[in-house]
C-alpha cells in the first residue's frame, strides 16, 4: 500500500495550461490555478463556495482539481455547433460537497474565456432563506418582490459582464413603464436599465424580469451568446421560504417574482446560448434530502420546467483524485503524514468537502 502512495505522490499533479478551452483528457486529475484577475472579474460577488474560499486563504493559492464531469460539461459546450436550435440544458447533480459548484466555476470560466454573456445566479437558496426585504409586487398581482436581493444580483450581473455592457448593440427593444412618472424608453442600453434597477431598488425585480426577456431576444437575434448558470435550482420548488411580507402571508417560491423570471429564462424558447443548472440536496428543505437524483430533488413540477435536459452526475473522488488532493494537502503542510489515507477515505466517503473538514479537525 505504501508503494502505491508513493506512486501517487510522484504524479505530476499540476496543470500549467491557462485556458479552459485547451484542457484535454491528459490534464485530468491535475490542479490548475484560478487566476486572481478571473476571480475578481467573475466571482467577486459570489459563486465560490465557503470551503474553497477558506482553502484559498489558507494555501494562498486557488487550485482547482480538473475532474471528469467538468471536462464532460465543457466538452458538450464545445461540441455545440448548431446555435439555431433552442439552448440545451445541462443539469449537474450529486451529493452535498462533491464539487458541483466547482464544476460550475470551471464552466463559467470557460464561458468567460469564450466571450459568453454570463447570467449567473450563485446560490438560489440565499434569496429564500435570508431575504433582505420583502414587499408586494406593484406590477404582478399577488406576487412578492425581493428588492434588495434583486438589486444585489443586478450588481453581480453588472460586475460579471462589464465588457459586454459597454457594447452598443445591447439595447432594449421596447418601452417599459415602471410607474406613471417613471419609464424607460426603447433602445436604451442594457447598462442603463441595470443602473435603473440598482438605483431604484423598488423596481429591481421588474428590471430583472425585463432584463431576462431582453437577453433572450438579443441572444436569439445573434447579438450575444448567453451562458445561463444557476446553482441550487431545486430551491425554486421547495415547500417553504423565509420571506415574510407585511401581511405575514405564507410565501412559496412560486409566489416570488424572481422565481418566475428565472424559470422563464431557462425555457427552450430562445437559442444561441447554453443553460447549466446545478441541483443540490442542501437547497431542499431538511426533510427532503434522502436522494440526490434529479427527479427526487426537483419533483414533478420542477422536472417538467426543465425537461428535456442532459443530466451530468458529479461523483465522489476516484483513487487518483483522492490521492492528488491529499498530496496537495501534504505539500501545503495541511496534512502532517501520508499515512491513514484509507481511514480518511472510509470516514469521508471521498467527498472533498468532508475531506477538507476532516483534515482540518472540524
Partner 1 sequence: MNVAKLLKFSRCSPLHFSPSYSHSSFRLQHATGTSSNPQEADKFQEDEFRVFVIPGKNSVTEKRQERRKLKFKAQPPRYLKMPVDQDWTSVWPGPRTFHPAVVPLPLRQGYDKKRVAQGKFGNAELMKVPNFLHLTPPAIKKHCDAIRKFCTPWPQGLETEMQMEKHFPITVITSDYCHSSPTIRDIKARIVTIKLKLSTLELDDHARDKFLRLVGDRYNPKTDVLTIVTDRCPMKKQNYDYCMYVLTALFHESWTFEEWEKEKSTLDMEYYEWKDHPSYQTYLKLKAYPSQDTSNIEQEIGQDPLTQKYSKAVTDLFNQGEDVYTLARYKEATLELLLGQKTS
Q: What does the alpha-carbon distance between residue 113 and residue 339 come to, in Å, rounded to a whole number?
A: 40
Q: Which residues pair with 118 in a beta bridge?
A: 227
Cell numbers linked to 50: 465557503
Q: Does 245 bind partner 1 (CB under 8 A)?
A: no
Stretch that binds partner 1, among 33-41, 253-261, 268-276, 327-335 (CB under 8 A): 268-276
Please check whether residue 96 is in contact with residue 3, taking contact to mean a CB–CB distance below 8 angstroms: no
Closest to partner 1 by CB, 197 or 294: 294
Q: How far is CA 332 from the centre of its chain?
A: 28
309 is an interface residue for partner 1 by CB under 8 A: yes
Name the phi and psi angles at 211, rounded to 5: -60, -45
Determine if 88 is a binding residue for partner 1 (CB under 8 A).
yes
Q: How far is the CB of 87 from partner 1 (least distance, A)?
A: 9
Q: Which of 307, 319, 339, 343 binds partner 1 (CB under 8 A)?
A: 307
User: For the CA atoms of the chain, what is the radius of gyration?
Assistant: 21
How many amino acids of this chain bind partner 1 (CB under 8 A)? 26
CA within 13 Å, CB half, 223 = 17
What's the closest the beta carbon of residue 272 comes to partner 1, in angstroms? 11
Work out which of 18, 177, 295, 347 binds partner 1, going by CB under 8 A.
295
86 binds partner 1 per the rule CB under 8 A = yes
CA angle 32, 24, 272 (to 5 degrees): 100
CA distance 8 to 1: 11
Q: Does residue number 82 form part of the binding site for partner 1 (CB under 8 A)?
A: yes
**CB 89 → partner 1: shortest distance, Å?**
7
Q: Which of 16, 269, 287, 342 binds partner 1 (CB under 8 A)?
A: 269
Q: 3-state class of 195 per DSSP?
A: helix
Footprint on this chain of partner 1 (rule: CB under 8 A): 76, 79-80, 82, 84-86, 88-89, 220, 268-269, 271, 293-296, 300, 304, 307-313
Amino acid at each position: 500500500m505504501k508503494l502505491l502512495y508513493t506512486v501517487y505522490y510522484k504524479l505530476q499533479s499540476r496543470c500549467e495550461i491557462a485556458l479552459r478551452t485547451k484542457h484535454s483528457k491528459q490534464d485530468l486529475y491535475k490542479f490548475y490555478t484560478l487566476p486572481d484577475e478571473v476571480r475578481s472579474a467573475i466571482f467577486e460577488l459570489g459563486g465560490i463556495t465557503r470551503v474553497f474560499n477558506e482553502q484559498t486563504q489558507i494555501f494562498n493559492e486557488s487550485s482547482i482539481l480538473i475532474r471528469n464531469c467538468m471536462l464532460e460539461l465543457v466538452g458538450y459546450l464545445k461540441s455545440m455547433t448548431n446555435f439555431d436550435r433552442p439552448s440545451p440544458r445541462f443539469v449537474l447533480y450529486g451529493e452535498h460537497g462533491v464539487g458541483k459548484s466547482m464544476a460550475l466555476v470551471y464552466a463559467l470560466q470557460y464561458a468567460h474565456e469564450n466571450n459568453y454573456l454570463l447570467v449567473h445566479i450563485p446560490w438560489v437558496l440565499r434569496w429564500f432563506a435570508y431575504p433582505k426585504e420583502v414587499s408586494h409586487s406593484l406590477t404582478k398581482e399577488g406576487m412578492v418582490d425581493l428588492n434588495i436581493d434583486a438589486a444585489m444580483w443586478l450588481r453581480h450581473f453588472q460586475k460579471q459582464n462589464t465588457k459586454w455592457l459597454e457594447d452598443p448593440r445591447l439595447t432594449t427593444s421596447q418601452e417599459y413603464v415602471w410607474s406613471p412618472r417613471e419609464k424607460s424608453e426603447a433602445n436604451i442600453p442594457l447598462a442603463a436599465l441595470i443602473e435603473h434597477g440598482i438605483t431604484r431598488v423598488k423596481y429591481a425585480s421588474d428590471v430583472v424580469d425585463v432584463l431576462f426577456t431582453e437577453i433572450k431576444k438579443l441572444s436569439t437575434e445573434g447579438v450575444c451568446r448567453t451562458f445561463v448558470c444557476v446553482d441550487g435550482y431545486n430551491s425554486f420548488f421547495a415547500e417553504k421560504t423565509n420571506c415574510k411580507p407585511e401581511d405575514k402571508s405564507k410565501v412559496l417560491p412560486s409566489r416570488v417574482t424572481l422565481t418566475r423570471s428565472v424559470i422563464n429564462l431557462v425555457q427552450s424558447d430562445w437559442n444561441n446560448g447554453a443553460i447549466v443548472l446545478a441541483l443540490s440536496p442542501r437547497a431542499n428543505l431538511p426533510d427532503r434530502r434522502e436522494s440526490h437524483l434529479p427527479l427526487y430533488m426537483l419533483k414533478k413540477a420542477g422536472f417538467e420546467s426543465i425537461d428535456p435536459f442532459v443530466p451530468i452526475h458529479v461523483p465522489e473522488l476516484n483513487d487518483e483524485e483522492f490521492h492528488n488532493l491529499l498530496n496537495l494537502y501534504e505539500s501545503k503542510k495541511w496534512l502532517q503524514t501520508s499515512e491513514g489515507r484509507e481511514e480518511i477515505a472510509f470516514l469521508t466517503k471521498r467527498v472533498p468537502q468532508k475531506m477538507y473538514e476532516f483534515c482540518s479537525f472540524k
